[in-house]
Amino acid sequence: MWALKAAIVFVAAIFLAAGAFLLFAWRSEIPEDATAGEASFAPELVARGAQLAAVGNCIACHTVPGKPAFSGGLAVPTPFGTIYSTNITPDRDTGIGGWSEAAFERAMREGVDRAGNHLYPAFPYDHFTRVTAQDNRALYAFLMTRAAVKAEAPENELPFPLEFRPLLAGWKLLFLRQGEVEPEAARSEEWNRGRYLVEGLGHCGACHTPRNAFGAEDRDRHFGGGEAEGWQAYAINPDSKAPIPWDEQSLAFYLRNGWHEFHGVSRGPMAEVTGNLSLLPDRDIAAIATYVVSVMGDPTPERAQRAAELREQFEADRLEQTADSQSSVALASGGKAGETLYLAACANCHQGARRQPFGGLNFELSTAVNAPNPQNIVNVVLFGLPPADGEASAVMPAFRHILSDQQLADLLAYMRESFSDEPAWSGLVEQVANTRSGAYKVTIRPSDGIERAPHNVGAEEE
Ligand code: HEC
Ligand code: HEC
Ligand code: HEC
């Protein structure tokens, strides 16, 4: 009898808790706006929205290569499963054609769709929540003036119980800090503008900050290095491994052009970021650089000293080598495993006279060789840098049909030892094998990112 009573109380408590949670997770539907798709917007507002959409990289996640811009359906891989981006063109049935501005703003601020469903944080609303109402209006105007496309996103592939969206209310309670942030009065207007763009629409931390077991960014390791689509997004805080530390000029140049002579070409998902940022006015790029460099802080005296030496060496080397386009490197002694491969297959480009971005970076300048994880080198060597369609781009051959797992592992070990003071990497053969077999999924695209998504349909169109 006692046991039965206890069981009833227990079950009732569970139901009550579940009910309370569902009530807590519940969000209202915002009624369809019958005229949203036909509204007209000032051309200046739409043009500003185009720039903001470029900062937010909306097109990269919301477009399948070769399909119409913003029509969604791209698989966004997460450690928990695959989430498909949605159609954000103004189509009434399959897109956001029926969404009022309020519904759009709620999605950006709270990660809730028009019908009241919680959205997965694969849509980086933990950053977009910082966007001002004014900028959301411009984004809304931009999206609502794109061509409407009928396209339905595939079902997400998530294990039980993660497909149950109300659970996301719990995630948000723990990890989402909603709303705009106040400017810091002690900092310059430029710095504050940079922080707004970087921490908000730019969502740099979505890739560059490591995540915890729940897939939320670890705030204590802000910009400490993360992962995106099978690529390492290097640390861009005081832990940065760039041999010549980034400064405002080099960072602004890299973000604008997608390469820098002391840092090489932006690859993988970063290629898309820099491709999109090229739409921004100089002052916004400069603001982003100012803020990010302030997060990196001043390099230690040893690092600054080493950087000065490298600068001097590479300025001088260039002058010397312009007379002779062939590299003049030779086997040092007997040839360690990896050394011969390096000299035969890589040195001609990577220690040659061709300048960035079309020549290969000297690995003494390479963040990749100094990074804790060599994944980006494995990706680049196996799959190469494919040429971008119809544009001059940095090209590198793919070596997957030439080098065995063991050979590439030897080459990596040699490069680490020769071009960096960091400790040796471990598990290289396995890492190469898993990348080659596709067990470890890597997204490859040309260095300027135009394969994956059509060029941002920008302000010039209006
Ligand atoms: C990193 C990838 C990524 C980026 C960048 C991104 N989105 Fe998304 N977005 C998604 C995914 C994935 C979903 C679907 C989430 C879900 O189903 O819960 C989504 C959903 C949405 C939705 C909800 C649509 C609906 O029908 O429910 C809107 C609105 C949206 N995104 C707008 C934007 C805008 C505007 C930008 C640029 C400022 C942007 N997104 C950038 C991945 C992204
Ligand atoms: C979609 C993921 C993603 C986003 C968003 C992103 N990055 Fe990156 N970033 C990467 C990856 C991956 C790399 C490594 C690229 C490579 O190997 O060339 C990278 C490289 C970089 C580097 C070069 C670091 C070095 O030492 O070589 C800088 C600087 C950088 N990102 C800054 C930014 C800034 C600033 C933003 C926001 C405006 C940003 N990133 C947004 C993925 C991302
Ligand atoms: C035909 C010329 C060519 C050859 C041969 C070549 N590369 Fe490259 N590589 C390039 C170019 C161009 C880039 C893009 C510019 C840059 O970022 O260095 C590049 C980029 C890279 C990068 C990214 C740069 C960095 O360090 O962050 C790595 C790693 C790399 N190559 C490794 C190799 C290795 C290892 C070999 C030999 C197996 C090799 N490459 C052979 C031309 C070449």
Q: How confident is the prediction along the chain (462 residues), in pLDDT tens digits per residue?
A: 667 787 777 777 888 888 888 878 889 899 998 877 677 899 999 999 999 999 999 999 999 988 999 999 999 988 899 999 999 999 999 999 999 999 999 999 999 999 999 999 999 999 999 999 999 999 999 999 999 999 999 999 999 999 999 999 999 999 999 999 899 999 999 999 999 999 999 999 999 999 999 999 999 999 999 999 899 999 999 999 999 999 999 999 999 999 999 999 998 899 889 988 988 999 999 999 999 999 999 999 999 999 999 999 887 665 555 444 455 566 665 667 899 999 999 999 998 777 777 788 999 999 999 999 999 999 999 998 877 666 667 788 999 999 999 999 999 999 999 999 999 999 999 999 999 998 888 887 654 433 333 333 332 333
pLDDT tens per residue across span 243-297? 999 999 999 999 999 999 999 999 889 988 998 898 899 999 999 999 999 999 9
Element counts in the chain: helices (H) and strands (E): 19, 6
* Cβ–Cβ under 8 Å, residues 261 and 254: no
- Measured in whole angstroms, the distance separating CA 258 from the mean position of its chain's CA atoms is 13
Q: What is the pLDDT of residue 328?
A: 57
Of the candidates 131, 216, 220, the one whose C-alpha atom is nearest the C-alpha of residue 181 is 131
Looking at the DSSP bridge assignments, the partners of residue 112 are 118
pLDDT tens per residue across span 418-451? 999 999 999 999 999 999 998 888 887 654 433 3
Ligand 2 pocket check for 269: Cβ under 6 Å: yes
Ligand 2 pocket check for 370: Cβ under 6 Å: no
Mutate to test the pocket of ligand 2, among 193, 273, 356 (most ligand atoms within 8 A of CB): 273
Find the DSSP H helices in 297-366.
301-321, 339-341, 347-350
Q: What is the pLDDT of residue 331?
A: 67
* Cβ–Cβ under 8 Å, residues 271 and 452: no
Distances 138 to 144, 281, 398, 459 between C-alpha atoms, Å: 10, 16, 42, 12
| Phi, psi torsion values for 370, nearest 5 degrees | -95, -5
Ligand 2 pocket check for 141: Cβ under 6 Å: no
Q: What is the pLDDT of residue 461?
A: 34
SS3 342: helix
* Cβ–Cβ under 8 Å, residues 72 and 456: no
Q: What is the Å distance from ligand 2's center to 233 Cα?
A: 5
Minimum CA distance residue for ligand 1 atom 9: 123
Of the candidates 296, 290, 122, 132, the one whose C-alpha atom is nearest the C-alpha of residue 217 is 122
Of the candidates 95, 61, 88, 48, the one whose C-alpha atom is nearest the C-alpha of residue 458 is 48
Q: What is the pLDDT of residue 314?
A: 85
SS3 346: helix
Mutate to test the pocket of ligand 1, among 51, 78, 88 (most ligand atoms within 8 A of CB): 88
Minimum CA distance residue for ligand 2 atom 24: 234
Ligand 2 pocket check for 208: Cβ under 6 Å: yes
The pTM assigned to this predicted structure is 0.92
Q: What is the Å distance from ligand 1's center to 113 Cα?
A: 10
Using a 10 angstrom Cβ sphere, with 0-12 exposed, 13-18 middle and 19 or more buried, the burial of residue 248 is middle
Q: What is the Å distance from ligand 3's center to 241 Cα?
A: 18
Q: What is the Å distance from ligand 1's center to 175 Cα?
A: 18
Domain coordinates in residue numbering, the chain: 2-175, 181-462
Q: What is the helix (H) or strand (E) element at residue 233, kind and residue range?
A: strand 231-233
* Cβ–Cβ under 8 Å, residues 458 and 54: yes
Q: What is the pLDDT of residue 9?
A: 77
Find the DSSP H helices in 43-188.
43-56, 58-61, 101-110, 125-128, 133-144, 168-175
Ligand 1 contacts (CB < 6 A) are: 53, 56-58, 61-62, 76, 83, 85-86, 88, 96, 104, 107, 113, 119-120, 122-124, 139, 201
Minimum CA distance residue for ligand 1 atom 35: 58
Q: What is the Å distance from ligand 2's center to 234 Cα?
A: 7
Which atom of ligand 1 is least distant from the CA of 118? 18
Q: What is the Å distance from ligand 2's center to 231 Cα?
A: 10
Find the DSSP H helices in 74-230.
101-110, 125-128, 133-144, 168-175, 189-199, 205-208
* Cβ–Cβ under 8 Å, residues 88 and 24: no
**What is the distance between the alpha carbons of residues 355 and 174, in angstroms, rounded to a whole number?**
48
Quote the radius of gyration of the chain (alpha carbons, Å): 25
Q: What is the pLDDT of residue 356?
A: 74
